[in-house]
A and B are shown apart, each in its own frame.
Chain A
């Protein structure tokens, strides 16, 4: 067996035409298991979401060999929470563990902290999703608490961690 060679990952803003690749990511069993997505989603609904993003949403995609294999959404808080953003991400089942998540996270943090002055970046992750937890810890996310019975997954209610990366020093 030959070991898969790590290919370069390019991160860019999400385009409307990415919807078909993104719809393919949504079909992955591991993607569904690890997120809040439902199986059997209509491609129309996914297309609509990609083509009409909400105004407070910044969406990034990761491209490998010309194909979108990862996506990350940064939802900005408003008003008294304008310094906060909520992050959600997913990587195609066949491309997990190959640096795609790392590339997306690096870009998202640069965007959030370098250009949007976000000082509280939060996300929610299932307590048993070890690869995701390792990625988030690597980027300085800390567990703030356990949300009991947070979501339903494959027949049972499961707990999740609320994690946040918080910068306490103000940008000058």
Chain B
């Protein structure tokens, strides 16, 4: 018998996301794949939430349970650079373990890349993964990300200086076809 399923929505950030997003940003499992640190104060978070750097696009992955209860399970930030690198964006993301490297994160990445390709006309999207994560390359490879640079001692992770890969995906906007 078919049961009501948990569904996932990708949407823009809203003002009332503040409390739920703060929970995501203080979830240590989610922070492991980022360069964020735990115990961020609510005040620092609020400032970042309401004053993002110019050119930052935020995507929220929200899970909707059969009971209609909603929960933020992931977020992605597409930060577009300026001037001579205005065709470039850095994609960072935070995901709860239940969506990490699964369909949930895939939906989030696809949505962010659709925004980059189809609406912003970006040429280069960068993403960083820690080098000791064997699944990461295969997962992001599905979306066209390729290895570019092994950054030694990139950041502290689980108490050690961890290396990380800079991955990038190139996309060239097409030409209009004449009828």
Contacts and interface: CB of A to CB of B under 8 A. Distances in A.
Interface in A39-61: none
Interface stretch (A13-21, A78-86, A100-108): A78-86
Which of B123, B150, B155 has the most chain A CB atoms closer than 10 A to its own CB? B155
A119 B153 contact: yes
B69 interface: no
Given A148-B170, A149-B124, A79 B37 contact: yes
Contacts of A151: 84-85, 88
B37 A80 contact: yes
Interface stretch (A4-12, A23-31, A139-147): A139-147
Contact of A153 (B37, B84, B150, B151): B84
Interface string B135-179: 000000000000111111111110001000010101000000000
A147 B166 contact: yes
Interface string A80-112: 110110000000000000000000000000000
Interface size class of B (residues with CB under 8 A): 20 to 34
A83 B124 CA distance: 28
B48 interface: no
A148 B124 contact: yes
Interface size class of A (residues with CB under 8 A): 20 to 34
Interface string B37-66: 100000000000000000000000000000
Given A36-B83, A149-B170, A120 B153 contact: yes
B101 interface: no
B35 interface: yes
A116 interface: no
Contacts of A168: 153
B107 interface: no
Interface in A151-172: 151-153, 157, 162, 164, 166, 168
28 contacts: A79-B35, A79-B36, A80-B155, A81-B155, A81-B156, A83-B156, A119-B161, A120-B152, A120-B153, A120-B161, A122-B151, A146-B149, A147-B149, A147-B166, A147-B168, A148-B148, A148-B168, A149-B87, A149-B88, A149-B124, A149-B170, A150-B88, A150-B124, A151-B85, A152-B87, A157-B87, A164-B152, A166-B153
Given A83-B153, A147-B166, A150-B124, 9 more contacts: A38-B84, A80-B36, A81-B154, A84-B154, A84-B155, A145-B166, A148-B124, A149-B170, A150-B85
Closest 3 CB pairs of A and B: A145-B149, A144-B149, A80-B155
Interface of A: 36-38, 79-81, 83-84, 119-120, 122, 144-153, 157, 162, 164, 166, 168
